């Protein structure tokens, strides 16, 4: 029995020795394919917004976990490295390797950037996700971003947004004349045709401007964030829907040269962690907004739908501008044609089972 045991031991040791030798041989290859990297990501959001900025922190944690801490990305809030509205520029120049932002902030560089976040009267959240993944949206947006030395990955979505906070009630389009309104992205061009004076401000700068009367109204995201930013303390009327953002799509932007230099496994890790952050941000908003809206209404906020004539006038103005841009901006035309075809087909389906189920259940929940 002793000899048998000894033979078994020798055989086991031999197998272990071969395994150890293989591990020793393989180690350099593994090290080469998974280098240790330390990057920075600049966000357009203040730390107080624990869903938008929290989504960036979540992404960074997942990157470390997925790569066994070999690829670590440190998040920075708006203003810590660059102002919130200069994130694209910082990534483009290589000041930081990555940024988390809303692409429509940069529509002044090219109106086509608005498709990266939300075309007014464009997609809802599920349509945006489907278009990006399966309708050619990611490819089209990266055709645009490569002109700015960036590569983009969807990394967060707010769902449909609110129309914002107003000091006085809106009864018709006439009430918009001369209104100084903080509104994000390309939508300012549309409302300006209705007499609004649009203002583009980063999240952390909105409340002081509203409190001082520098602006008359503002929009941000929805109840959870709006409550945190305190808009209800200086403006009572809370309007919906935010027709300029049927969804609020956020992106992780990567410096293109840095992206191309990454091992494929690390590129995949960024895509995977960004996708998880996308779901995390949307889920947190959907969970937090109902209770926040109840608190805002209990605290004196007055909930109102936009009057029908404002909605219709805004829709007409938007489509007039789109008609002009497709004549002069080839990239805008490519994106617009793609969105329009995808959205129209999508609505043919969504108005059947989805709309039927949702309206039935909402009616019964109210009862």
Do both 232 and 110 map to the same domain? no
Does a structural domain hold residue 30?
no
The torsion angles phi and psi of 127, rounded to 5 degrees, stand at -65, -40
| Integer Cα distance of 306 and 287 in angstroms | 25
pLDDT at position 33: 66
pLDDT at position 202: 84
Give the pLDDT band of residue 203 (cuts 50, 70, 90).
Answer: confident
CA distances from 76 to 89, 101, 199, 278 (A): 15, 12, 25, 18
**How many domains does the structure of the chain reveal?**
2
Do both 231 and 93 map to the same domain? no
Give the pLDDT band of residue 315 (cuts 50, 70, 90).
Answer: very high
List strand residue ranges (DSSP E) for 61-117, in order: 71-76, 98-101
pLDDT at position 329: 98
What is the rounded average pLDDT of the residues 28-34?
53
pLDDT in tens, 208-237: 999 999 999 999 999 999 999 999 999 999
| Integer Cα distance of 197 and 335 in angstroms | 27
Does a structural domain hold residue 15?
no
- Judged against a pLDDT cut of 70, whether residue 24 lies above it is answered with no
| Domain of residue 122, CATH code | 3.40.190.170
Range(s) of the domain holding residue 52: 36-160+247-286
List strand residue ranges (DSSP E) for 213-328, in order: 217-218, 237-240, 249-255, 302-305
Do both 179 and 316 map to the same domain? yes
Which distant-in-sequence residues (6+ apart) come within 8 Å of 337 by Cβ? 326
Does a structural domain hold residue 355?
no
Residue 35, judged by CB atoms within 10 A of its CB (0-12, 13-18, 19+), counts as exposed
pTM of the model: 0.89
| Integer Cα distance of 258 and 98 in angstroms | 9
Asked if residue 203 lies in contact with residue 84, where contact means CB atoms within 8 angstroms, the answer is yes
List strand residue ranges (DSSP E) for 82-175, in order: 98-101, 150-157, 164-166
Question: How much is the mean pLDDT over the chain?
Answer: 92
Helix 125-134 with 330-350: angle, nearest 10 deg: 120
| Integer Cα distance of 60 and 187 in angstroms | 31
């Amino acid at each position: 029995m002793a000899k048998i045991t000894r033979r078994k031991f020798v055989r086991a040791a031999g197998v272990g020795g071969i395994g150890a030798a293989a591990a020793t041989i393989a180690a350099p290859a593994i090290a080469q394919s998974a280098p240790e990297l330390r990057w920075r990501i600049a966000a357009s959001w203040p730390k107080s917004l624990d869903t938008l900025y929290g989504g960036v922190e979540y992404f960074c944690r997942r990157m470390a976990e997925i790569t066994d801490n070999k690829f670590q990305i440190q998040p920075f809030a708006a203003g810590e490295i660059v102002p919130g509205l200069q994130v694209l520029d910082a990534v483009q120049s290589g000041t930081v390797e990555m940024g988390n932002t809303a692409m429509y902030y940069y529509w002044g560089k090219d109106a086509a950037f608005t498709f990266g976040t939300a075309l007014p009267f464009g997609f809802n959240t599920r349509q945006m996700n489907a278009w990006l993944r399966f309708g050619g949206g990611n490819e089209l947006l990266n055709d645009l971003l490569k002109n700015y030395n960036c590569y983009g990955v969807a990394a967060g979505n707010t769902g449909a947004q609110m129309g914002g906070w107003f000091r006085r009630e809106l009864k018709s389009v006439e009430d918009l004349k001369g209104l100084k309104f903080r509104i994000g992205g390309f939508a300012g061009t549309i409302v300006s045709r209705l007499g609004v004076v649009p203002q583009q401000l980063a999240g952390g700068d909105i409340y002081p401007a509203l409190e001082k009367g520098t602006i008359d109204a503002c929009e941000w995201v929805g109840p959870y964030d709006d409550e945190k930013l305190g808009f209800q303390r200086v403006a009572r009327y809370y309007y919906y829907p935010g027709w300029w953002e049927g969804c609020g799509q956020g992106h992780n932007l990567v410096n293109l040269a840095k992206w191309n230099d990454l091992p494929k496994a690390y590129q995949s890790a960024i895509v995977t962690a960004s996708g998880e952050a996308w779901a995390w941000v949307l889920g947190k908003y959907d969970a937090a907004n109902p209770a926040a809206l109840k608190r805002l209404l209990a605290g004196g906020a007055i909930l109102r739908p936009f009057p029908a004539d404002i909605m219709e006038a805004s829709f007409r103005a938007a489509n007039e501008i789109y008609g002009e841009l497709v004549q002069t901006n080839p990239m805008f035309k490519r994106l617009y044609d793609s969105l329009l075809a995808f959205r129209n087909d999508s609505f043919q389906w969504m108005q059947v089972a989805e709309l039927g189920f949702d309206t039935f259940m909402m009616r019964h929940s109210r009862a």
